[in-house]
Amino acid sequence: MKSKIAIGADHAGFAYKEEIKVWLENKGYDVEDFGTYSEASADYADFAHPVALAVEEGRAERGVLVCGSGQGVSITANKHQGIRAALVWAPELAALSRQHNNANIICLPERFISAETALQSVDIFLNTEFEGGRHERRVAKISC
């Protein structure tokens, strides 16, 4: 079994969340789904906080959040100490968010990217290591 991944989305990210969850499980990840569980209108913070808390407390190695723009879940998750939630709309950003920022949550904008791009970005995010070095100093300056 690979590492544990926390996942969550609001109604606007529900479809991709479901697709990503199945993809992760098929790849051998242990996935904890924090909802939402339908396309009924829901507030993104209700799902972003539990995912961020699971990563913050070490109950999940990384997190995946999806909403319409990716912004709401990113802003919410980044309120948590030790969380570096990256808004990603291209695979290259997934790689850089890990290499340079040691991001631990990927935030995806369902209304603006294809499902293929979302899955490719998650794959890269989960399989890219933090480069450390000069980036370590910069990441250390993020938290107040």
* Active-site residue, from 100, 107, 135, 144: 100
Let me know if 100 is a catalytic residue. Answer: yes
Q: Which residues contact 72 (CB under 8 A, 6 or more apart)?
A: 10, 44, 45, 48
* E strand map for 20-124: 30-33, 62-67, 85-87, 105-109
Q: Are 70 and 81 in contact (CB under 8 A)?
A: no
Q: Are 137 and 100 in contact (CB under 8 A)?
A: no
* E strand map for the chain: 4-9, 30-33, 62-67, 85-87, 105-109
* Active-site residue, from 11, 67, 80, 107: 67
Q: What span, in angstroms and rounded, lies between the C-alpha atoms of 115 and 40?
A: 20
Catalytic residues: 67, 100
